[in-house]
């Protein structure tokens, strides 16, 4: 998992228990996209009471 500053893409994917890898097999997300993903989850409750992964 690569978690670092970067450009905000405005998109992300979620998964359960295992990293969600992109086309090149790398699981990554920028701080900027994570800052959007977390409030989205709080508002939508898609993974209520479950651990989940956020990446591109």
**Is the alpha carbon torsion for 47, 50, 55, 56 positive or negative?**
negative
Q: Both ends of the chain: CA-CA distance in Å?
A: 11
Q: How many domains does the chain divide into?
A: 1
Q: pTM of the full predicted structure?
A: 0.75
Residues forming a β-bridge with 30: 4
Tokens of 34: 């994570």
**Is the alpha carbon torsion for 52, 42, 11, 6 positive or negative?**
negative
What is the reported pLDDT for 40? 94
What is the reported pLDDT for 36? 93
What is the reported pLDDT for 19? 74
pLDDT digits (tens, 9 = 90+) for 8-53: 988 888 889 877 877 777 788 899 999 999 999 999 999 999 989 8
Cα gap 26→38, rounded to integer Å: 20
What residues make up the domain containing 26?
Answer: 2-55
């Amino acid at each position: 998992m690569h978690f670092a500053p970067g450009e905000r893409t405005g998109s992300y994917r979620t998964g359960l228990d295992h990293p969600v890898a992109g086309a090149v097999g790398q699981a990554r997300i920028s701080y900027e996209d994570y800052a959007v993903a977390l409030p989205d989850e709080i508002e939508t409750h898609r993974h209520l009471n479950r651990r989940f992964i956020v990446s591109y």
